[in-house]
Structure 1
Amino acid sequence: MKPSLKMRVLTAAVGVPVIVLILLAPTWVMLCTVILCSLIGIYEFYDAVNMKKEVPLLCLFGFLGTVILPLCAFLLPKQILTCAYGYLVILFLAMLGSNRKIMITDVAMLIISLIYIPFMLSHLLFIRRLDFGNILVWLVFLGAFMTDSCAFFAGKLFGKHKLCPNISPKKTIEGAVGGVIGCGLGFLLFAFIINTFISAYIGGAEMSYMLMFILGVIASFVAQIGDLTASLIKRQFGIKDFGKMFPGHGGMLDRCDSIIMVAPVVFIFAAQISLFI
């Protein structure tokens, strides 16, 4: 086994049990985890795009927004809108009082970072509050990790045609297809496990195999979009990884780039169409 692959496996062997414990823990543990991961991720993002050096004051507002956004999962829509408006007014006041040191482009980058990281990750909390949310939230990590693993091995075995050579030279079309198929099958297996072993403990409710497969395919598609988008950002700013927090995997954003995209899709799908019958 190559040293890089060995390091990835060892990191996963430690990380997966931690994730399982978080998913089994009360909601407040997930809230704290989302806030912590978002803070680390947004720190890496600001470092990558040079905001820490150019507009450090604005970064402080970014960290504040990163803490506030996950808490909005427990607020009413009118309360969220009030907080968002007040926060935007504060940003504009900071820009007006900076003697033209803070540009509107800096504020735009800040807002994008808040949407991209803490807002997207906060969908883990939105999912947790749905009916059967303690089960549905597992799908986010299943979608991200199954896509990553299946695409990696499918690409190694069958990869011949480059997917996006200018963004991520190692990714292939065959790997991407393998990721989609593997994720869809992974969702089917998850539904089988729930229906066979868990259904009796949740009032006899069972997961729809058809809907689960469809969601698995969609989740894999957006997971790969998230991965490629993160790669594009890194190429645009001339960095290899966002950080070095996870040996063999890079930083927090390198590890969460797929999760960031999958979480909203699982929430939107499950909130509109019940996966249980």
Structure 2
Amino acid sequence: MNDAPNAPGTRGATESAPPQESPVAEPQPQQPRKQRGGRNLPAAIGVGLGLGAVIIASLFVVKVLFLAVVVAAVSVGSYELTSRLAERKGIHVAQLPLLLGGVAMLTTGYWIGPQGAAAALALTALALMIWRMKEAPENYLRDITAGVFTAFYVPFLATFVALMLAAHDGPQRIVLFLVVTICSDTGAYAVGYKFGRTKLAPTISPGKTREGLAGGIGLSMLAGALLMQWIIEDGHWWQGLVLGGCAALIATLGDLAESMIKRDLGIKDMGTLLPGHGGIMDRLDSLLPTAPVVWMLLAAFVGS
């Protein structure tokens, strides 16, 4: 049988096609490792060092200067939270009574004590209720509830920092409070990054793991034991272990609570004031709820 003629444009069955050169894959540029939360790490480190310098300088020069730093941070944080509530949910909180009430809580807490701070919180809530009466009654209860929540969450919890500062060894207590809280976050990040496998709260903060939580608790307990023994008068290392462990747990819960708020609002950060960090509230999320716990334990262990 004769072979059928080749179709136009095709090669015969016995004719081999010239070998095709396999394409050489061009080397792809190595992608940089994604930083935590998409943050600008160099900017975050620079801002963190700058904040640390401001805190240390004000804390050990004149204690009242540190109180002024706390008042400024709380005022900005309250503004960030209420601004996001207005933008995302249409909830309007009166800024002036909230600002004045926050200053009153912190200053009365420092010079008078817990009773003064509690009275200032009650008066702030009353002022928010009266101020809101100038507007239409629609959403009155919603706006007042948000205002009282903000007054409690930001300036009132920060008042416990002022209460620690008012003690005769106030700067040392503030250092202990800051270090154990920062160690909680640092230990959680380091251990979670290296060994994290089991999600802690995937629907709230997917990056947090149980292994990271254990690392944060461990580092915070170690820092608490060392600082309680070295810089707190009449303090003992075992008290620092208890304080550090409790601080790490509450700091994590506070971080998760703010993550819940931001997810409800549909935002990533509360603000943009601090490059690499977000807003002031994004730095206060773990500090605010930890402050009353550390104050209470220090008062129980060594007095207020």
Report TM bin, short chain.
0.7 to 0.9
Moved more, 85-94 or 237-246: 85-94
Equivalent residues in 2 for 1:265-276 (5 A)?
A: 265-274=293-302
Name the structure 2 match of 1:121: 158
Partner of 1:253: 281
The SS at the match of 2:286 is helix
Q: 8 Å contact 2:201–2:208 — kept in the other structure?
A: yes
Partners of 2:273 and 2:87 in 1: how far apart?
A: 20
Shift in alpha-carbon separation, 1:57–1:186, aligned structure 2, 3 A: closer
Q: Taking CA–CA contacts closer than 8 Å with sequence separation of 6 or more, which of the two structures ends up with the larger relative contact order?
A: 1
SS of 1:170 mapped into structure 2 = strand
> Does residue 25 of structure 1 match 2:61?
yes
Residues 156 and 82 (structure 1), Cα distance of their counterparts in 2 relative to 1, 3 Å cut: closer
**2:193 aligned residue:** 156
Structure 2 Cα separation of the partners of residues 77 and 266 of structure 1: 15
8 Å contact kept, 2:125–2:148: no
Q: Secondary structure at the match of 2:278?
A: coil
The aligned counterpart of 2:108 is 72
Between the aligned partners of 1:127 and 1:174, the Cα distance in structure 2 is: 31
**2:246 maps to 1:218:** yes
Give the C-alpha shift of residue 243 in structure 1: 1.0
* Alignment map for 1:183-194 (pairs within 5 Å): 183-194=220-231
Paired residue for 1:5? 41
> Hey, which bits of structure 1, 4+ residues long, moved more than 4 A?
51-57, 76-86
Q: Which residue of 1 aligns with 2:206?
A: 169
1:43 aligns with 2:57: no
Q: CA deviation at 1:7?
A: 3.0
- Give the unaligned 5+ runs of structure 1: 196-204
In the TM superposition, residue 56 of structure 1 has moved relative to its aligned partner by 5.3
CA–CA distance in structure 1, aligned partners of residues 300 and 234 of structure 2: 17
SS in 1 for 2:208: strand
Cα separation, 1, equivalents of 2:218 and 2:115 = 41
> TM-score, with normalisation over the residues of structure 2?
0.80
Kindly provide the CA deviation profile for residues 142-168 of structure 1, in whole angstroms up to 9, marking residues without a partner as x: 122111111111111100011111111
In 2, the alpha carbon distance for the partners of 1:250 and 1:48 equals 13
Q: TM-score, normalised by structure 1?
A: 0.87
Report the Cα offset of residue 125 of structure 1. Answer: 1.0
8 Å Cα contact 1:212-1:275 kept in structure 2? no
The equivalent residue for 2:266 is: 238
Alignment length (residue pairs) = 267
Task: Answer yes or no: is 1:142 the counterpart of 2:170.
Answer: no
1:65–1:213 CA distance, 2 compared to 1 (3 A): same
Percent of pairs with identical residues: 27
Q: Which segments of 5 or more consecutive residues in structure 2 lack a partner in the other structure?
A: 1-31
Instruction: Report if the CA contact (8 A) 1:95-1:104 is conserved.
Output: no
Kindly report which structure 2 residues correspond to 1:100-119, keeping only aligned pairs within 5 A, or say none: 100-101=137-138, 103-119=140-156
Q: CA RMSD in A?
A: 2.5
Partner of 2:10: none
Report the Cα offset of residue 221 of structure 1: 0.6
Task: Tell me by how many angstroms 1:58 deviates.
Answer: 1.7
Give the Cα separation in 2 of the matches to 1:269 and 1:29: 25
Quick one: which amino acid aligns to residue 234 of structure 1?
K
Tell me what 1:201 maps to.
Answer: none
In structure 2, relative to structure 1, the CA distance for the partners of 1:229 and 1:138 (3 Å cut) is same
Structure 1 Cα separation of the partners of residues 57 and 161 of structure 2: 15
Please state whether the residue corresponding to 1:163 is helix, strand or coil: strand
Structure 1 residue 60 corresponds to structure 2 residue 60: no
